[in-house]
Structure 1
Amino acid sequence: MAEAHQAVAFSFAITHEGWDVNFDREVLDLVWQSGIRSWKKRLARLQNNIHNGVYPGHWASLWVLTSVVSALHFSEYPVPLNLPNKFLVFLPGSGIICQFIACFLSSLSIWLTVIYILRYILRLLLMYKGWIYESRAKGSDISKPTKIWLSLIKIFSAWNSPSLYSYQGSLPRLPLPKVEDTMTRFLRSVRPLLDDQNYMRMEKLADEFQKGIGKKLQRYLVLKSWWSSNYVSDWWEEYVYLRGRSPLMINSNFYGIDAILEHKTKIQAARAASAIYSFLTFRRLVERQELEPIMMQGLVPLCSWQYERIFNTTRIPGIETDKIMHWADSNHIVVYHRGRYFKVIIYKGRILKPCEIQIQIQQILDDNSEPLVGEEKLAVLTAGERTHWANARRQHFNRGVNKVSLDCIEKAAFVVTLDDIPYEFDIKHPEKLDYFGKNLLHGKGYDRWFDKSFTLCIGSNGRVGFNAEHSWADAAVMSHVWEYVITAPSHEQRYDETGNTIGTPEIIPPNPIRLKWDIQEDCQTAIEQALVLANDLINDVDLRIYVHDNYGKGFMKKCKVSPDAYLQMALQLAYYRDSGKFNLTYEASMTRLYREGRTETVRPCSIESTAWVKAMVGDTSTTEEKVNLLKTACQRHQLAYQDAMCGKGLDRHLFCLYVVSKYLEVDSPFLKEVLSEPWRLSTSQTPHGQTSRTDLKKYPNCISAGGGFGPVADDGYGVSYIIAGEDLLFFHISNKKSSKLTDCHRFAKQIEQALADMKQLHLDYVAKQ
């Protein structure tokens, strides 16, 4: 067959006439091009490593300094510390060549010293976090320390343009909080959730922990914080993600939705080709480090460490723990369509153009072959329990064609699914967007490769979305990639008037290669077992995507509060009305101001927020009192969010103390109780407009609906929201149908009512002024 022929570069045989050698020139050309590409990438990495190693300096300044030192030396002017003559003592001679070498070594010594000092000063500057706590509103006063800091940061930023990883060596380490500070924050966070008796009991447990075993556990964490780049991230990745044995689908993976107000083409192959090309160009930007790091306020860099594993990455199942495998390069993707897997080469001397990729995708769509036995639902193994998948992988995919095909999927840049159903959005029919989200969250359970860093999903009508694995990075990184992909058709012409990709193919793209499988009966049994569990999970989860277009960020700013805090208060009010009580609430905040930082938890259910909610549901408070309570609650929430960003959170510290206690085999009643409490309301804001590419004034329809995730607790809600514009919000609300306490559709109505009440509260307050 054609694909079998392409899989062999050459073959030989011995006949009675001598050697018979056959070469496949196309495959050998691909091997040659792959080698050339590999060496180019190595040279580019070397150049980037030099650039990043000396940032904020520049290696070109070394040659300038060498010229100056040489000129001074040969003109017999004194060079600082008389370095050239000191180096000449160690050189075999005193000729012109040796003197030039001595001048270069002198320049190198001075240059490295200056670079080291500059990098140390930059790190000290980035340790300052006072600017976060100061108002960013126009006309607000800025403290003198912050003004000085701003000036110095601008000076350093002006010297040299940073690449993606330029700041990595200068980012400070995540600070380790004191045990007593964490205990104080913890007790304050649980006060509104406990009655007096239980609160006194918790106070006693916290005091015993702080004065007892907590001191010993903290000493180990102090050592880890000195030794490691980040005292949290490696343990967080391992124990929260990789050691989890429950299914990734719904429980861990998350999804993202297309720019739903735009629909430039309804041709599935064209949209797939355009999206694939955008992902590949983003990968090239990452590999060449030409992507600018995300900068807060345009000045302060966020850690870019997680970008290394966006592509060519797979989570490999294990019996007790999984592992993340990342390959340096991959020149192919894998496409799933109607139960069949295809290897698609996307590089032939260069990245294939969209019009060339469309040819490949159309070939797959036109292929009428049937799936092999067991092939169609194979990916459900990645959706089921991890130990079950690990055992099946070891027994059935460690040799022969199964191993070759599995390697092809796992080493692919990413996986693409060509769905046979449309992805739809209609503001008059909200259930269509709900179905859109559910399809991206879990699909059929077997048509996404849940282990891959992400699966790009293409609807039959040309709309797109993704399903992403969570252990390799946080949602903000995937949001950055997605922002680049969905804005690409607005920034450049991708389609002609017929909806096909523009341009004329310059080469004949390599034909897609059908992957081969040999799925035996016992492996089919393992697939069916995983499918039963996957269907149970799918049938139990419900999702509602609520579109709020009555008002958005613009109105919230008029209320003079943080938009995020405003929405968190709305969720608190909605949850109290929905359940009749307050509960532990999780909001994710990032700690990427520090090296290898990931996330920290903010606890929106606070003393101040509960006071405001009680005032809203009661009849005794005046409008002015409610507004003042709301502002106080928002200010408290914003402070908690700022503290979390600056390493002053409490949950990651408690988590690490718990890990140390397990290593030491020490039982802590306090830690055991604290970490066993469920997060019945788990929330997260999807970042929007992380880069200048998302310019809503220029491209008003280039708005993503954000994304979502499954519920964390069996009787709780998962809520992801995105502030998509001045007058548009999206809430992705999930729950389990098996719980009689939760209903995402009911909760969406409570959010709608809470937002309406908050707006009316502000309008009433303004009217009385």
Structure 2
Amino acid sequence: MAEAHQAVAFQFTITPEGIDLQLSYQALNQIYLSGVRSWKKRVSRMRNRVIKGVYPASPSSWLFVAIGILATIYMQSDPSMGLIAEIQQRLPLSLHVSLSAQGQTMVSALVFSTLLWLSLILALRFCLKLLLSYHQWMFEQHGRVSNTTKVWVTLLRLLSGRKPLLYSYQTSLPHLPVPAVRDTLTRYLESVRPLLTDPEYKRMTDLANEFESSLGNRLQRYLKLKALWATNYVSDWWEEYIYLRGRGPIMVNSNYYGMDFLYVTPTSVQAARAGNTITALLLYRRMVNREELTPSRVPGTVIPLCAAQCERMFNTTRTPGVETDVLQHWQDSEFVAVYSRGRYYRLWVYRAGRLLSAREIEHQIQWILDDPSPPLPGEEKLGALTAGDRVPWAQIRKEHFSSGVNKRSLDIIEKAAFFVTLDDEAQGMKGDDPTGNLDRYAKSLLHGKCYDRWFDKSFSIVIYKNGKSGLNAEHSWADAPTVAHLWEYTLATDAFQLGYTEDGHCKGEVDRSLPPPHRLSWEIPSEVQDQIFSSLTLAKALADDVDCHVFPFRDFGKGKIKKLRVSPDAFIQISLQLAYFRDRGSFCLTYEASMTRLFREGRTETVRSCSNQSCAFVKALEGGEGADQCKRLFRQASEKHQNLYRMAMTGAGIDRHLFCLYVVSKYLGVDSPFLKEVLSEPWRLSTSQTPVQQMELFDLKNHPDFVSLGGGFGPVADDGYGVSYIIVGEDMINFHVSSKHSCGETDSHRFGAQIAKALQDIMAVLSADTASSSKGPAQPQSKKLL
């Protein structure tokens, strides 16, 4: 095989004259160049450690401190107040012998300068951490900024003036605070009040009071102890117990998807789209490895967000276990795993330390597409093991994939930078049935054929036959904003930076000496094939039950909403409450994901969007109340929602605190009827906004068709809805709705129609008298504050 010959650096034979050594200079040159690339990466990582280790100062600032100290000594002044002389006395005897008195003074001064410099760095870092712990700015309205916040903004800008690396802020981010038990219980009872009858609310209040007076404070002490010791008191337990310990399928239940552009496909050539997409992803990985990405910030501000989730973006796989899965991350890999028509390949994307061009990767992908070889027995549907229950997959993996050819092939997939599926179907909106096509497109990305994705990989890229693309992401390692940032860069780089030739192929030249991709080998016995069939049967039943509906809402967008001085997110969330009430005739516990990345290793918190205020507005609107009354109630509901969102972002949420208290109770072996009931409450309406974080990458003014469709996820409750939405530009909101066919009370298309009508009806109410509406309370403008 060609790749076997490429792997041989030298050969030797035994001759009568001795050993005949035959060196392959080409292969040795490849080894040398690969080694150079490896050492360059090591040097780069070492340099980055130094730069971020001294942030917000710079390494060169040491020179200024040292020169300043030496200058004062030259002027016969002692800025150290005797410390330099003390250091000089404690120098090693060898320096006393070899150096003159002046030399000893200089060495002592440099030691003092270094200690002073390090002390200043620690002081600056401490000040930056204090500044980043201030969150009152988020609760202030535009035009009413306090003097404290103005001073805080100035100081934060001064300390953040130097260009940071991706992880420069990590050690300066504050730790997530542990709320008081009483505060959390008060907020919880307020959140469930509109969902309970008076007797039910009294019962829940009694349970909460009993918990606070007995077990609550005991659990809280353990939690505070963890908060002192751990970087984040929530994230490790959240990752383990919510994601990794789940024993059911991660397909649909956990993994989520991201879509391509709505209206355009840059090329219809499948191999070319794969070439540019893979290249863009690898360029992003290079920036992550070199820490060249600008740290994410609160939109429109200088306030940094935690970047820890970027660390496991590439070269990461969730490996199954009997009791719990494990996230495995490798430092680097020079290949990707590719699936095409039932066959698996390893595609090398580097050669001699050089990243292959997009045109070369296209050439390699086309070779895979043209490969006529059939799948090996059991190979075609092997990926179904990652779509079924975790325990059978863990057992099969241990018994049949822990040695030999199966282990080598599985290692290649799991250690790959990411997974690529060359789908043999065409997807997208175009065609005779654009609405149905979008729905089928979403289902394809969410679960595919249940065996043509590797759901354990941190993310899998899907390239369709007609050039459309998308991704499927595993959830345990990171949340949607991190993946969305990657996908935004990929789409923009593919379309606007790399580009295509007139006939739809990637730009660049091809090195014809490149070895072809390596076809993976498998030896899959009958018992493994039986388990593949069982996992596939379970996964297909789950996939067939999902009802997906994707629709762009074009009547208006955030531009018109903001003219009414209303938060677009609050507007949409209250519209979802109205839509659900019309759809089901009642209110439900509603989950909206909010980030806590203002804190180190922060992930998400729940915004309980169904509030007393939102329910009062919905009842008033449905009850035929006057426009003025509805407007007043809507303003109250909007302000309440914004306040709930801010509290969740600043560590004063409800659900993560209660979740951690529950975990502590399980470790202690004590039962809490209150926590047990709270943690078992179903989220019948689970919602999430996909943020657009890099609008500078997309020129929507000159290229209005290059708008993102966003992404979505499966329903959380069997009798509920999953709703994801992305606010695109000023005039469009794209929605992704999911539910289950097996529930007779839910219908994704019906609910989608209710969402559109709710948006229109609320806009009609608020726009009835624009003049009076504009006199309402101003929306907090945190984006304009900084």
Structure 2-normalised TM-score? Answer: 0.94
Per the alignment, residue 423 of structure 2 pairs with 419
Secondary structure of the residue aligned to 2:332 is coil
Per the alignment, residue 404 of structure 2 pairs with 400
Per the alignment, residue 163 of structure 1 pairs with 165
Q: After the TM superposition, which residues 56-135 of structure 1 pair with which residues of structure 2 at under 5 Å, given as runs? A: 56-91=56-91, 92-93=95-96, 94-95=99-100, 96-135=102-141
CA contact (8 A) 1:257 1:707 kept: yes
Cα displacement (A) at 1:631:
1.2
Cα displacement (A) at 1:71:
2.8
Secondary structure of the residue aligned to 1:714 is coil
Structure 1 pair 103–768 and aligned structure 2 pair: CA distance change class (3 A)? closer
Query: Which AA in structure 2 matches 1:76?
Result: Q
Q: Distance in 2 between matches of 1:379 and 1:509?
A: 28
Q: Distance in 1 between matches of 2:230 and 2:771?
A: 56
Q: Distance in 1 between matches of 2:458 and 2:533?
A: 24
Q: Distance in 2 between matches of 1:696 and 1:443?
A: 31
Q: Distance in 1 between matches of 2:381 and 2:163?
A: 48
Structure 1: 5+ residue runs without aligned partners?
none
Per the alignment, residue 185 of structure 1 pairs with 187
- The superposition leaves residues 7-38 of structure 1 with CA deviations (integer Å, 9 ceiling, x where unpaired) of 55566666777556676666655544443322
Cα displacement (A) at 1:3:
4.0
Cα displacement (A) at 1:154:
1.1
Q: Distance in 1 between matches of 2:386 and 2:412?
A: 15
Q: Distance in 1 between matches of 2:543 and 2:12?
A: 51
Cα displacement (A) at 1:260:
2.1
Q: Distance in 2 between matches of 1:607 and 1:209?
A: 24
Per the alignment, residue 668 of structure 2 pairs with 664
Secondary structure of the residue aligned to 1:560 is coil
Per the alignment, residue 489 of structure 2 pairs with 484
Structure 1 pair 10–201 and aligned structure 2 pair: CA distance change class (3 A)? farther
CA contact (8 A) 2:227 2:233 kept: yes
- The superposition leaves residues 725-764 of structure 1 with CA deviations (integer Å, 9 ceiling, x where unpaired) of 2111111111111111111011111111111111221232
- The superposition leaves residues 347-368 of structure 1 with CA deviations (integer Å, 9 ceiling, x where unpaired) of 1222111111111111111111
Structure 2: 5+ residue runs without aligned partners?
774-786
Q: Distance in 2 between matches of 1:118 and 1:606?
A: 42
Q: Distance in 1 between matches of 2:615 and 2:657?
A: 25
Secondary structure of the residue aligned to 1:601 is strand
CA contact (8 A) 1:359 1:509 kept: no
CA contact (8 A) 1:294 1:691 kept: no
CA contact (8 A) 1:352 1:509 kept: no
- The superposition leaves residues 315-347 of structure 1 with CA deviations (integer Å, 9 ceiling, x where unpaired) of 010000000000011011111111111111111
The question of 1:712 aligning with 2:716 is answered yes
- The superposition leaves residues 412-450 of structure 1 with CA deviations (integer Å, 9 ceiling, x where unpaired) of 000111111112213962111111111100000011100
CA contact (8 A) 1:6 1:24 kept: no
Query: Which AA in structure 1 matches 2:766?
Result: H
Q: Distance in 2 between matches of 1:717 and 1:23?
A: 65
Per the alignment, residue 444 of structure 1 pairs with 449
Which deviates further from its counterpart, 288-297 or 502-511? Answer: 502-511
Q: Distance in 2 between matches of 1:27 and 1:457?
A: 34
Query: Which AA in structure 1 matches 2:206?
Result: K
CA contact (8 A) 2:310 2:482 kept: yes
The question of 1:312 aligning with 2:315 is answered yes
Secondary structure of the residue aligned to 1:289 is coil
The question of 1:303 aligning with 2:306 is answered yes
Per the alignment, residue 533 of structure 2 pairs with 528
Query: Which AA in structure 2 matches 1:538?
Result: A
Secondary structure of the residue aligned to 1:587 is strand
Per the alignment, residue 691 of structure 2 pairs with 687
Structure 1 pair 318–11 and aligned structure 2 pair: CA distance change class (3 A)? farther
Aligned equivalent of 1:153, options 149, 152, 156: 156
Aligned equivalent of 1:384, options 385, 388, 394: 388
Secondary structure of the residue aligned to 1:595 is coil
Secondary structure of the residue aligned to 1:163 is coil
Cα displacement (A) at 1:508:
4.0
Per the alignment, residue 517 of structure 1 pairs with 522
Secondary structure of the residue aligned to 2:246 is coil
Q: After the TM superposition, which residues 196-345 of structure 1 pair with which residues of structure 2 at under 5 Å, given as runs? A: 196-296=198-298, 297-345=300-348
Cα displacement (A) at 1:502:
1.4
Per the alignment, residue 356 of structure 1 pairs with 360
Which deviates further from its counterpart, 379-388 or 417-426? Answer: 417-426
Q: Distance in 2 between matches of 1:663 and 1:429?
A: 52
Aligned equivalent of 2:197, options 166, 174, 195: 195
Q: Percent of aligned positions with the same letter in both sequences?
A: 52
Per the alignment, residue 54 of structure 2 pairs with 54
Secondary structure of the residue aligned to 2:452 is coil
Aligned equivalent of 2:755, options 751, 760, 766: 751
Q: Distance in 1 between matches of 2:103 and 2:365?
A: 61
Query: Which AA in structure 2 matches 1:264?
Result: P
- The superposition leaves residues 236-286 of structure 1 with CA deviations (integer Å, 9 ceiling, x where unpaired) of 000000000010100000000012233221111111111111100100100
Q: Distance in 1 between matches of 2:12 and 2:581?
A: 75
Secondary structure of the residue aligned to 1:735 is strand
Which deviates further from its counterpart, 243-252 or 347-356? Answer: 347-356
Which deviates further from its counterpart, 95-104 or 15-24? Answer: 15-24
Q: Distance in 1 between matches of 2:10 and 2:440?
A: 49
Q: Distance in 2 between matches of 1:437 and 1:375?
A: 26
Secondary structure of the residue aligned to 2:548 is strand
Q: Distance in 2 between matches of 1:705 and 1:122?
A: 38
Structure 1 pair 112–507 and aligned structure 2 pair: CA distance change class (3 A)? farther
Cα displacement (A) at 1:622:
0.3
Query: Which AA in structure 1 matches 2:111?
Result: L
Structure 1 pair 658–23 and aligned structure 2 pair: CA distance change class (3 A)? farther
Query: Which AA in structure 1 matches 2:642?
Result: Q
Secondary structure of the residue aligned to 1:745 is helix
Aligned equivalent of 2:174, options 172, 175, 183: 172
Secondary structure of the residue aligned to 1:59 is coil
Secondary structure of the residue aligned to 1:718 is strand
- The superposition leaves residues 110-143 of structure 1 with CA deviations (integer Å, 9 ceiling, x where unpaired) of 101111111000000000001111234xxx2211
RMSD: 1.8
Cα displacement (A) at 1:509:
3.5
Secondary structure of the residue aligned to 2:355 is coil
CA contact (8 A) 2:570 2:641 kept: yes
